[in-house]
A = this chain, B = another copy of it.
Amino acid sequence: MARSKSAYEIDDIDRKILRLLREDAHLTTQEIADKVGLSQTPCWSRIKRLEDQGVIAGYVALLNPERIGKPMSVIIEINLDMHDDEKIENFSRHLAQLPEVTDAYLTTGEYDYVIMAAVEDTEDYEQFLRKRLLKFPGIRHAKSTFCLRRLKRDPSPSV
């Protein structure tokens, strides 16, 4: 039996569309259609389908960290004392809810968590670390690494 195109398959034209929208969501469907070699109608249907299927999760404005008073990025590697499920889930929820935290991952290897925080300056960072992050019970160790320069930050992986 020949394999028919599944509803969830992404073809080369879809990928081209995603590549464009990943960089600039303000392109019109007509502009995208021109760039990918389609007419407006099927191009619009494809974008709609990619949204409905959750391939496109949403659209956001990108803010300039310097201009909104959060020029400093810090990477924090964290170890917990205990590793029972409840502890992990609680701390994970705690992290996700802190506004300074922009990224948080549960990881393999030397540390349990790797997170990133955006703050105003070193003083702001100290406050965050002592009064908000380390207030959570059961943190064995936290290692901070300061970012000197951001070379790249893509909101989505390349397609």
A residues engaging B (CB < 8 A)? 8, 10, 18, 21-26, 53-65, 67-68, 70, 73, 75, 92, 95-96, 99-111, 114-115, 118, 143-159
Contact = CB atoms under 8 A, between A and B. Distances in A.
B159 A63 contact: yes
Number of copies of this protein chain within its complex: 2
5 contacts: A22-B63, A25-B60, A25-B61, A103-B153, A108-B146
Contact of A67 (B53, B59, B147): B53
Contact of A107 (B23, B75, B106, B114): B75
A60 B59 contact: yes
Among A57, A108, A152, the most chain B Cβ lie within 10 Å of the Cβ of: A152
Given A60-B156, A65-B157, A150 B105 contact: yes
